[in-house]
Amino acid sequence: MVESVTTTAAGRRPARCDDGAVERRYVLTLGCPDRTGIVARLSTVLAEAGATIVEASYHADESSGWFFTRQVVLAASVAASAEQLRTRFAAVAAELGPETEWTLHDTDERKRVVLLVSREPHCLRDLLGRAADGELPAEVVAVVGNHQDLEPLTAAHGVPFHHVPFPADPAERGPAFARVRELVDAHDPHAVVLARFMQVLPAELCEHWAGRALNIHHSFLPSFVGARPYHQAFARGVKLVGATCHYVTAELDAGPIVEQDVIRVDHGDSPADMVRQGRDIERLVLSRGLRWHLEDRVLVHGGTTVVFT
């Protein structure tokens, strides 16, 4: 009996996107109400499939009573197709109750990312560069901008750019958002990144892209929600400024936080200095958050995230 699950214990091996030729893997994530037996149940399914586990993480949250796991197995070790594995896990998930959420990603299926931008190039440039250098496990399939400024930069990376002008009056932006939605959805992307998009998404779009839309906010949330956070930070006289990568929800800058970081500033830094220094933190935080999202390392529950790094 023990023998039947022995194959689950093999050594973890790096499953990172930039290792050159990385073996094909299946990445399982699962969240459900915590109860005894979940790990054993999942391990057995994997073991019976002969899976070699290369990464395994568990978390049970006492306050919410929720259980989370992420497991990575070598595809070559599994005597089943991804589809067959999915069928088996669907059965397990059914046992674990109707609230269970799970995914199984085949790394041979390359993920797709759409970027929403406005005029500021730094996040767009950083993500396009990382994608080009193989630092992101995904393809940037399109960029949508409400200004044309970033079209040349996008085109230089061989990525289609779509310009959707936005009317000055917020009340008249419905058609523009509808067009953005249409352009984005045409790619059925795994991630929609607001890379300094500077527009507040309407609630129904937040809902439609729930769990897929990532924003970079240029402050250490929950400090300085809304517009011009560096100017707010300067006015308050804080000694560190930061950036936050979070999922987009209908409430402004209140979505589940994926990653945050800060940088030290002092009285000699003007708001413009903070803007400049903050760009480095924005780039880092957004690229880390997006990478973790694409590697299925981020599980959302309630208003917070579990990030298995």
Q: Which of residues 78-117 bind a second copy (CB under 8 A)?
A: none
Closest to a second copy by CB, 131 vs 184, is 131
Q: Is 254 exposed, middle or buried (0-12, 13-18, 19+ CB in 10 A)?
A: middle
Q: In the annotation, is 253 catalytic? A: yes
**Looking at this protein, which amino acid is placed at residue 1?**
M
**Segment contacting a second copy (CB under 8 A): 52-60, 101-109, 165-173, 190-198?**
52-60
Should residue 240 be labelled a site residue for a second copy when binding is judged by CB under 8 A? Answer: yes
Task: Please identify which residue in 161, 197, 224, 292 interacts with a second copy, judged by CB under 8 A.
Answer: 224
DSSP tag of 31: E
The reply to whether 148 sits near a second copy by the rule CB under 8 A is no
Q: Given its phi and psi angles, is residue 8 left (phi above 0), alpha (psi -120 to 50 degrees) or beta?
A: alpha
Applying CB under 8 A, the span of 2-10, 83-91, 103-111, 207-215 interacting with a second copy comes to 2-10
Among 90, 94, 156, 227, binds a second copy (CB under 8 A): 156
The nearest distance, CB 219 to a second copy, in angstroms, is 10
Partners of residue 217 on adjacent β-strands: 244
DSSP-derived 3-state class of residue 113 = strand
Assess 161 for contact with a second copy (CB under 8 A).
Answer: no
Distance separating the N- and C-terminal Cα atoms of the chain: 32
Which residues from 162-181 bind a second copy, rule CB under 8 A? none
Binding residues for a second copy, total number by CB under 8 A: 84
18, 169, 253, 280: the active-site residue: 253
Q: Residue 97: phi, psi to the nearest 5?
A: 110, 160
Give the x-and-dash track for 5-44 against a second copy (CB under 8 A).
xxxxxxxxxx-x-xx--------------xxxxxxxx-xx
Query: CA-to-CA distance for 289 and 121, rounded, in angstroms?
Result: 18
- Of 56-64, 81-89, 104-112, 177-185, the segment contacting a second copy by CB under 8 A is 56-64
Among 27, 28, 113, 221, binds a second copy (CB under 8 A): 221
Strand partners, 306: 299
* CB contact at 8 A, 187 and 114: yes
Residue whose CB is less far from a second copy, 181 or 305: 305
Scanning residues 249 to 308, which ones bind a second copy (CB under 8 A)? 256-262, 266-268, 270, 272-273, 276, 279-280, 284, 287, 303-307
The CA–CA distances, whole Å, from 230 to 5, 163, 261 equal 54, 28, 14
212 CA to centre of own chain: 7
The residue among 39 and 178 lying less far from a second copy, judged by its C-beta, is 39
Residue 47 near a second copy by CB under 8 A: yes
Residues with a catalytic annotation lie at 253
